[in-house]
Structure 1
Amino acid sequence: MERKGKIGLLPKLIIAIIAGILIGKFTPEQVVRLLATFNGLFGNFLGFSIPLIIIGFVAPGIGDLGKNAGKILGLTVAIAYGSTVLAGSLAYFADSAVFPHILSVGAMVSESAAHGNPEEALLAPFFIVEMPAIMGVMTALLIAFTLGIGMAAIDGGKLNEVMHEFQSIIEKLISVVIIPLLPLHICGIFANMTYGGEVQTIMSVFIKVYAVIIALHFTMLIVQYLIACSAAGKNPFKAIKNMIPAYFTAIGTQSSAATIPVTLQQTKENGVDEDVADFVVPLCATIHLSGSTITLTSCAIAVMMLHGMDVSFAAMLPFVMMLGVCMVAAPGVPGGAVMAALGVLESMLHFSPTMLSLMIALYLAQDSFGTACNVTGDGAIAILVNKLTGKNARIPDTSGQPVGAGD
């Protein structure tokens, strides 16, 4: 949670977007190229960091889940993952039906057709410093899966401790270096797009995409509570009403972890057994990201359509399924989900550095609403798990399990 008197990330991003548009419109080319040079350096460093982020978050996340045993853990993980995949699938079908009518498909390609490449309309940096990643994204994913499953299988305490220290280093890298520099990066992106004549297309996209995303958030919450409350014999709309304090708290904190006390209190008001709530809510704060998945899927589809790329369910379903894994134990900082998703966007959907930057801007500008959807959905999962396991279910010990914001 932000300290009083300190500007939050969202206001900084808004200021950066406005400043970037003004710089691109009213300043000399050299100023825009200077920002483009910073963007080149920052983008290359981000590319270098992506495999480290994947290993740092996915491996210990899988290892921690595997260390705990019991019916309630497996059931909660399965329901949370299923909810995440359902959310992404819902977003795909809704976006595919709506976006072609509200977005100019291929707009960023047609505007730059004279250049032969949509990214050639942007100014080049003064110089480039190559920062090759230590390994490819898929290699990082395979290593993360191997280490995570291996730690769970052999109960590797020492390796688990090393991986958690590595995770802490990567969290510091994101919270101290990447997140503070993001506003300047976004400013440079919008300055360059304004100079290249593309910013009007992007700005017209923002509000339309956000309207669809928020509508999908509410739709997903209704679906989650209809399923959970039908099984538990409860009134879904009363249960949703009880979770409203958690929803608005998450909008303010932008963190599932920081909202846990309120989510717990409101979940118990919905009649969930205290032991079940105390286990399910903190766990889901790490592994259940239905709102974030809706946002990432919708933003990805919007960016792909603007660039004239093919958007098919065959391509998007594996992307959504991989998202559900990669965002496990995402860092406890605002925007952690999109940082964890960058590698999947690059490797599976073939996003360029400029497209990744657009994804970061689109995602972070509404991060709090995705978080609010995540935590409110956690309450529905708790109701369903409570019904399916009963009060006598064995609750695993999660005292050693980290809880990230996952947003």
Structure 2
Amino acid sequence: MTAAPSLLHKLKNMSLVTQILIGLLAGIALALVLPDAARSTAFIGKVFVSALKAVAPILVFILVMASIANHRHGQETHIRPILFLYLLGTFAAAVVAVIASMLFPSTLVLVTHDVAVTAPGGISEVLQSLLLSAVDNPISALMNANFIGVLTWAIGMGIAIRHAGQTTRTVLDDLSNGVTLIVRVVIRFAPLGIFGLVASTLATSGFGALLGYLQLLAVLLGSMLFVALVMNPAIVYWKLRRNPYPLVFTCLRESGITAFFTRSSAANIPVNLELSKRLGLHEDTYSVSIPLGATINMAGAAITITVLTLAAVHTLGITVDIPTAILLSVVAAICACGASGVAGGSLLLIPLACSLFGIPSEVAMQVVAVGFIIGVLQDSAETALNSSTDVLFTAAACMAQEEQAQRAA
């Protein structure tokens, strides 16, 4: 009788990452041994992802509003260097994807699939959509997880409440702490949620559909790994001037793993905020930069859009030089902030990128269909890269600023 409580006690005392890895291995084992039972665990995964998505908008709204309302005049924040790192990382990812696509050109079998997708018709349409998202009704923005709108209203309300009395700001700060506590409770169920997601995905989809696109997947995943393990550490080293890998591996382990299986940058916002707090980062900074990064830090999207578009370019025999490919791919990737932070969001930008190369929409939509076929791995890896990089660049900017302040003192 004491063996079971002892085992549960040991599991409880393990780190969250270790518990998630156990859930991951258990999910794989269940999918291999009892696939029918594994399919039934999809509900567990959906509950976990739904809980994260439900708490994320209200968390961002309250946390950003409280941070700005309680911001002391003259207190330093580091949003500008973080934005620069976001843009630099997106550009670097596009360059890596272009080079990989040129070195290992992929050919697609462009077949029509029944995929219901509404893609933007051009850059102007994406920018208009972005502006409309920013001025969305606040209730609608919270209900639909429109983080551009949530951020806009949170910033506006935060600035307005800065002129309110101290009691109002204290209440807002207490409300922020209360929502954060709820988020911690949700995150504690991550091992169970990951177990359900992994078991049901492997049992339902498997990897049979991916065999026909092994080279394309290799280019995509190889580019993302190169950015995560080489390019991003190089950027962090340039910023901090010290070994970046402890920080890189921490972000990949504690943010990338959950993002890989939830496949949603929006759902991973609570995870990243909690990690930023544990890293001891500046709260006024990460409370804004993390939700902002979930919508505009698109290194993974840059790779997906670039690789799939250039695969279509190669298939159709279109000649494009490297500078043009990089420029057009980066433009499309930056516009990806107009797409939602949910699974498959970057695929909606492929028709836009293809149109910049003169590829007709009929063909572009077939490329999107290919993206959905390989999305089991592509979108998971993309989200893991995007979300972990949000914390990585936020931490790098905050740490660099703190070290500079210490040297000045």
* TM-score normalised by L of structure 2: 0.55
CA deviation digits over 1:59-117, x for unaligned, max 9?
xxxxx9xxx9x973333223212211110111101220122xxx45xx86xxxxxxxxx
Gaps of 5+ in 1: 10-63, 109-117, 126-132, 152-158, 172-201, 394-407
The answer as to 2:252 corresponding to 1:240 is: no
| Cα gap change, 1:164 to 1:308, in 2 (>3 Å) | farther
Residues 231, 387 of structure 1: 8 Å contact kept: no
Shift of 1:284: 0.8
Kindly state the Cα deviation for residue 219 of structure 1 after the two structures are TM-superposed: 1.3
Q: State whether structure 2 residue 264 is matched by structure 1 residue 252.
A: no
Specify the code of the residue in structure 2 equivalent to 1:257.
A
Distance 1:337 1:348 in 2: 18
Code of the residue aligned with 1:5 in structure 2: it is A
- Residue equivalent to 1:161: 136
User: In the alignment, which residue of structure 1 is the partner of 2:398?
Assistant: 386
Partner of 1:297: 306
RMSD: 4.3
Aligned to 2:384: 372
CA contact (8 A) 2:236 2:396 kept: yes
* Conserved? CA contact 1:285–1:378, under 8 Å: yes
Q: Which moved more, 1:251-260 or 1:136-145?
A: 136-145
Provide the rounded CA distance (Å) in 1 between the counterparts of 2:235 and 2:123: 35
Matches within 5 A, 1:45-60: none
What is the CA-CA distance between 1:334 and the residue it aligns to? 1.1
Listed as ranges, the gaps of 5+ residues in structure 2 are: 1-38, 47-63, 69-75, 147-208
1:182-214 deviations in Å (ceiling 9; x for gaps) = xxxxxxxxxxxxxxxxxxxx9765111112221
Q: Percent identity?
A: 21
- Measure the CA separation in 2 of the matches of 1:328 and 1:347: 18
Which residue of the partner structure matches residue 197 of structure 2?
A: none
Compute the displacement of 1:142 (Å). Answer: 6.5
Note if contact 2:257-2:384 (Cα within 8 Å) is conserved in structure 1.
yes
Tell me the equivalent position of 2:122: 137
Q: Distance in 2 between matches of 1:258 and 1:170?
A: 10
Give the residue type in structure 2 aligned to 1:86: A
CA 1:81/1:227 → structure 2, altered by over 3 Å: closer, same or farther? closer
Residue correspondence of structure 1 range 8-407 to structure 2 within 5 A: 72-99=78-105, 103=106, 137-141=122-126, 143=128, 160-161=135-136, 206-222=213-229, 223-243=231-251, 244-362=253-371, 364-365=375-376, 366-390=378-402
Q: Deviations over 1:213-255 (max 9, x none)?
A: 2121121122212321453254322112212121110111101
Question: Is the contact made by 2:304 and 2:346 (CA closer than 8 Å) also made in structure 1?
Answer: no
Distance 1:318 1:241, change over 3 A: closer
Alpha-carbon separation, structure 2, partners of 1:294 and 1:3:
34
Amino acid in structure 2 at the alignment position of 1:254: R
Q: Per-residue CA shift, 1:330-349, capped at 9, x if unaligned? A: 21431112224433333445
Deviation at 1:268, TM superposition (A): 4.3
User: How many angstroms apart in 2 are the aligned matches of 1:236 and 1:368?
Assistant: 24
Aligned to 1:5: 42
Match of 2:170 in 1: none
The alignment partner of 1:296 has SS state of: helix
Mapped partners of 2:265, 2:221: distance in 1:
18
Q: Which amino acid aligns with 1:85?
A: F
1:255, 1:371 within 8 Å by CA — same for their partners in 2? yes
Structure 2 counterpart of 1:239, one-letter code: L
Counterpart AA for 1:262: V
Contact 2:351 2:361 (8 Å CA) reproduced = no
1:111 matched residue in structure 2: none
Q: Secondary structure at the residue paired with 2:342? A: coil
d(CA) in 2 for partners of 1:93, 1:317: 9
Letter of the structure 2 residue corresponding to residue 219 of structure 1: F
Cα distance per residue 1:290-336 (max 9 Å; x no partner): 01211221111122212222232243223222223311152143111
**How many angstroms apart in 1 are the aligned matches of 2:292 and 2:141?**
21
User: The residue matched to 1:328 in structure 2 has which SS?
Assistant: helix
Question: Residue 313 and residue 230 in structure 1: after superposition, are their counterparts in 2 closer, same or farther (change >3 A)?
Answer: closer
Query: What TM-score results when the alignment is normalised by the length of structure 1?
Result: 0.55
The question of whether the paired residues in 2 share the 8 Å contact of 1:225 and 1:240 is answered with yes
